[in-house]
Amino acid sequence: MNSDGPEIDDIPLLWASESQLAWLHRCSVIVVAGVALLAAGLFTLPMEWFPWAVSFLLVGLFGIGNRLRHRKQLVLRRNDFFTIGGDANQRIPWRSVTDITFGPKRIELALKSGSRTSLRLDFLDRNDRHATATALVRLWEVFRSEGPFEFPARDEVEIRTPRLKIGPASPADREFCLSLVASEEVRADQCDPFTSPEWESRYFDLMLASMRSSAIYWKCVIRLEDDTPIGSIVLGLNCPILRQAQLAIDLRPEYWNQGYGSEAVEGMLDFARQRTNLSKVSAGCFADNIRCARMLEKAGMVRMGTFERFWFKDGEWKAGHHFESVL
């Protein structure tokens, strides 16, 4: 594995943070308390003690301020979870938890060792607290049933089909990928509008950075056997709890209607089936894009339904089809 990419164990699947307002409130309380103590010392302590009192107060404020540098967070990962500035600053492996119960503002965890620990979520607002607690329990339940989430890092994605080679995009693919999204024929079937060459170039850089910092997103280039690039295909995790991913594909127009699209999608689905434990992969296309719908069905994806308001584009709602493949 390339050393500049992360291990999936280090990648947060979900996280919840203390609000900026709550963090500022905690900081302001500490500052006001420090000023009050300093003022009290000025009027009550002998003058020869005052410099020592100020020194001790500043050291104490520095120590407290060091803890307040970051907002409190709960981080849920593939094999474990922990808090930053909370009750579980040491990681707790999912496999060590045997039961989870709820209190008004905290979660009680029963561990295999026989001990119990509390996880307070009062640093979150009420709505986030409920959603975060629910996500934690669901991730734990899926872990108990399915084991750790498996999703190879980008440098491990190497797919071969009878006519194609599929691998992660790199800086050398910039011009090809930009020309692909700039094509009027391709843009007609895309959900997002084309912005400008400069914006699309910056987005390409952000996409590459995201792939380096996240092990749960692949953007790959589709190539012929002679290394000619003909399109791109993306698979990204869109529901970490249920282990579901979204697939998207673009091909240069001169390679349409030759079976390359369905071959690439089928190759990606086979790779996901063999190398991940995703539960499902979804895809979609506009209802008037008959070519894409046939391609997805030929690759083995099942049309689950048609939505009259699938996407808003060019000043109107467009109908679209939703496809799924259960892995």
- What are the pLDDT digits (tens) for 26-35? 556 666 666 6
* Sheet containing strand 106-111, strands side by side: 97-102, 106-111, 116-120
The CATH number for 235's domain is 3.40.630.30
Name the most confidently modeled range: 17-31, 51-65, 83-97. Answer: 83-97
Q: Are residues 158 and 69 in the same domain?
A: no
Higher pLDDT, 154 or 183: 183
User: Does 36 have pLDDT greater than 50?
Assistant: yes
Q: Percent of the chain, pLDDT > 70?
A: 80
User: Does 271 have pLDDT greater than 60?
Assistant: yes
Q: Are residues 104 and 225 in the same domain?
A: no
Q: Are residues 126 and 184 in the same domain?
A: no
226: number of Cβ within 10 Å: 6
301: number of Cβ within 10 Å: 24
Give the type of residue at 18.
E
Q: Are residues 209 and 127 in the same domain?
A: no
Higher pLDDT, 7 or 180: 180
Distances in Å between the Cα of 296 and the Cα atoms of 67, 136, 230, 259, 260 are 51, 34, 17, 11, 11
Could you tell me the residue range of the domain that residue 265 belongs to?
A: 154-326
Q: Are residues 162 and 130 in the same domain?
A: no
User: In angstroms, rounded to a whole number, what is the distance separating the alpha carbons of residues 162 and 61?
Assistant: 66
**2 falls in which pLDDT band (50, 70, 90)?**
very low
Query: Distance between alpha carbon 187 and the CA centroid of its chain, in Å?
Result: 26
Query: Measured on CA atoms in the order 88, 93, 98, 100, is the torsion positive or negative?
Result: positive
**Per-residue pLDDT tens digits for 130-148:** 888 899 999 999 999 999 9
Q: Are residues 80 and 210 in the same domain?
A: no
Inside any domain, residue 310? yes
- For residue 262, give the nearest of 192, 176, 164 by alpha carbon: 164
Domain end point (choices 130, 146, 162):
146
Domain end point (choices 109, 125, 146):
146
Domain end point (choices 102, 128, 146):
146
Inside any domain, residue 3? no
Q: 121-141 burial by CB neighbour count: b if 16+ within 10 A, else e?
A: bebbeeebbeebbebbbebbe
Q: What is the mean pLDDT of residues 208-223?
A: 82
Q: Pull the structure tokens for residue 114.
A: 């026989």
Higher pLDDT, 209 or 259: 259
Q: Are residues 316 and 180 in the same domain?
A: yes
**48 falls in which pLDDT band (50, 70, 90)?**
low
**253 falls in which pLDDT band (50, 70, 90)?**
very high
Q: Are residues 165 and 291 in the same domain?
A: yes
This prediction has a pTM of 0.80
Residue 134, C-beta contacts closer than 8 angstroms, at least 6 positions apart? none
**Total domains in the fold of the chain:** 2
User: Does 1 have pLDDT greater than 50?
Assistant: no
